[in-house]
Amino acid sequence: MYFPLQDIEAAKLNFDDPEHLRIHSLETFGTHDGPGIRMVIFVQGCQFRCLYCQNPDTLDVRGGTLVSIDELVQRAVRQKSYFGKFGGVTVSGGEPLLQRSKLSTFFKRLHAEGINTCLDTNGRLNNDQVHELLEHTDLLLLDVKHINDEIHHKLTGLTNKATLALADYRESTGKRMWLRYVLVPGWTDQEEYLEEWGQRFADFKTVDRVEIIPFHQLGLHKWELMKMNYPLKDTESPSEECKQKALTIFQKYFSNVVLK
C-alpha cells in the first residue's frame, strides 16, 4: 500500500534538522526493495539527473516533508510482526546519502529494535559519514547505472567514480550487497559494456544478487505534470531479446541474477 505524506502528521522544518528526515512518501508491505516484506521510505532530494528518472518529483532537495525519526521508528516497530525473518525497513529515494548522518541515527534506532535495515543508493558519495551509515546497513542495494564513465555522465549528469569506489569499500567490509542495473535501449544495453560491468564485479564476494530492471514509461506522466521535458519519451521498453541478452551476459559472472 502506497500513500502520500499528507497522511502523516509532520512539520515543515529546516532540511538540516538532525531529528527529522526529509521524505517524499512511504510504502508499507513493499516487496521490491530488498528481501521479504518491508516498510520503504522514499527520501526527498537527489544529485543525479537520470534521463530515465521515474520519480522526478523526488529530485528537489527543498521538497517533501520532514518527519521525525521517532515517528518513523514507531511506525517500523508497529509493522515489525509483518517483516518476518527476512523483511525490515528500506530507505530509497531520491538519494538517501544526502541525509547520511540522520540515517545513521535512524538505522541505529532500528537495530536497537531488532529491525533489519536496507539502503538503496546510487553511491554518489563515498566518505567517512557514508561509511558510518554502512556500518549500520544490513544490506546495500547499489545502483550502478553504467560502467563507462563518459556514458554514465551523459545518462545521469555525474561521474560513476564515487559509485564504483563505494562498491569497492562495501566489498572490503565483507557486508552484503545487491547490485542493480536499469536496462535502457540505446543507453545501457551495449553488449561490450554489459560484459565490462559483469567483469568489474565478478570477483566480489559480497554480491548476493544482481537485479536487471527493464526501463518503462510509467514515470512519463510525472514529467508531463511537472512541465519537464522528458528526453526518453520516445524510447520503448527493452525487447525480450534485449532482456535475455543482458541476462545471459550477467549470468556468466554472477550466480544469482534476477530479471525484474
Q: Is residue 233 scored above 50 in pLDDT?
A: yes
Q: Is residue 11 scored above 50 in pLDDT?
A: no
Backbone torsions φ then ψ of 220, nearest 5 degrees: -55, -40
Give residue 6's pLDDT.
Answer: 44
* CA distances, 8 to each of 38, 63, 157 (Å): 18, 15, 33
Give residue 210's pLDDT.
Answer: 98
Digit-coded pLDDT (tens) for 135-172: 999 999 999 999 999 999 999 999 999 999 999 999 99
Beta bridge partners of 257: 210
Digit-coded pLDDT (tens) for 102-143: 999 999 999 999 999 999 999 999 999 999 999 999 999 999
Rounded CA gap, 58 and 112, in Å? 29
Q: Which helix (H) or strand (E) holds 25?
A: strand 20-30
Measured CA angle at 34 (ends 56, 105), to 5 deg: 80
Rounded CA gap, 193 and 150, in Å? 12
Contact between residue 144 and residue 164 where contact means Cβ atoms under 8 Å apart: yes
Contact between residue 143 and residue 120 where contact means Cβ atoms under 8 Å apart: yes
Contact between residue 89 and residue 116 where contact means Cβ atoms under 8 Å apart: yes
Digit-coded pLDDT (tens) for 162-221: 999 999 999 999 999 999 999 999 999 999 999 999 999 999 999 999 999 999 988 888
Rounded CA gap, 62 and 112, in Å? 31
Grid cell locating 208: 548476493
Rounded CA gap, 222 and 193, in Å? 30
Query: Is this model's pTM higher than 0.95 or not?
Result: no
Q: What mean pLDDT comes out for the span 229-250?
A: 95
Number of domains, the chain? 1
Rounded CA gap, 73 and 84, in Å? 17
Q: What is the CATH number of the domain that holds 139?
A: 3.20.20.70
Note down the domain range covering 112.
2-259
Digit-coded pLDDT (tens) for 50-74: 999 989 999 998 899 999 999 999 9
Q: Is residue 3 scored above 70 in pLDDT?
A: no
Give residue 258's pLDDT.
Answer: 98
Beta bridge partners of 40: 27, 90
Give residue 4's pLDDT.
Answer: 45
Grid cell locating 42: 522514499
